[in-house]
Structures are given as C-alpha cells and as structure tokens.
Amino acid sequence: MNLLNRENNVDAIVDSFWKHGYMTLSRKFGSYLPEPAKVGNYEVDAIGKYKNNYVIGITLTEEELNNLDIYRKLEFLGSRSVKYSNRKVKLFVAVPRELAVKARNIIATLTEETRKNIKLIPIEKPTVN
C-alpha cells in the first residue's frame, strides 16, 4: 500500500474519532500532532480522547488480514484499559469497504469482551479526478 493510501486511511480514522466526539491526541502522517507510541509491540495509527475515555485507531490492509498474527493483535489492542482507572480503551479498526466482511469475520472469533470494545470502520477508496 502506498503512502498516500495509508495517509487517507489515517484521515478516515481521525474523521471517525471526530464523529464520535473524540479529540485526536496523536496520529501518523500529521503535521501538528506527534506520532503515537507503540502499544505493546504493535504500531497504532491514531490515539484519541473524550473526557476520561480513550480510543486507539488502526488501519488494516489485505495482507495484514491474511496474516495469522492479526488475531493476536486485535485481541491485545481490543483488551487494553487505562492504567489507573481500568476503563476500557475503545479500538477503531479501519479497513477498505471490500474487506469489511472478512474483518468482521475475524473480529467475530475474538472473545466477547474484546468484540464489544472494537468498532469496525469501512472506508472508501479515494476517487481520482
């Protein structure tokens, strides 16, 4: 996936943060915000906050969805909680619209507690004018 597509996907995550009331604290490919730190061993694309609630945003490609490590990654990131208050951290997962069914099937295999904490965001490919 080229850099422009990754940047558009991160923009889609940030837009969904805003639609759900979250303020973006850090994001990849941003001019004014810092790049997010790794969560465990996994890179994330954006981190947001609304009052005392946090959200992690990641984008997934077809190659990542075909990798068996995706189950471990989603389980780990979907089960995060805030250090001191034990509030669950919501996970926004952005995938291209044509891969949404595949991503939904992968998420369906995770534990119920983790599934409740994951929001799937289908994104459109940018149109070329």
Name the stretches of the chain with pLDDT < 70. 1-4, 125-129
Q: Round to the nearest angstrom and report the end-to-end CA distance of the chain.
A: 20
Per residue in 61-79, pLDDT tens?
Answer: 888 888 888 889 888 888 8
Comparing CA positions, the residue from 36, 40, 61, 60 lying closest to residue 49 is 36
pTM for this entry: 0.85
Is it true that domain 3-123 has CATH number 3.40.1350? yes
- Domain-by-domain residue ranges, the chain? 3-123
Return the structure tokens found at 10: 């991160």
Residue 95, CB half-sphere, CA atoms under 13 Å: how many? 24
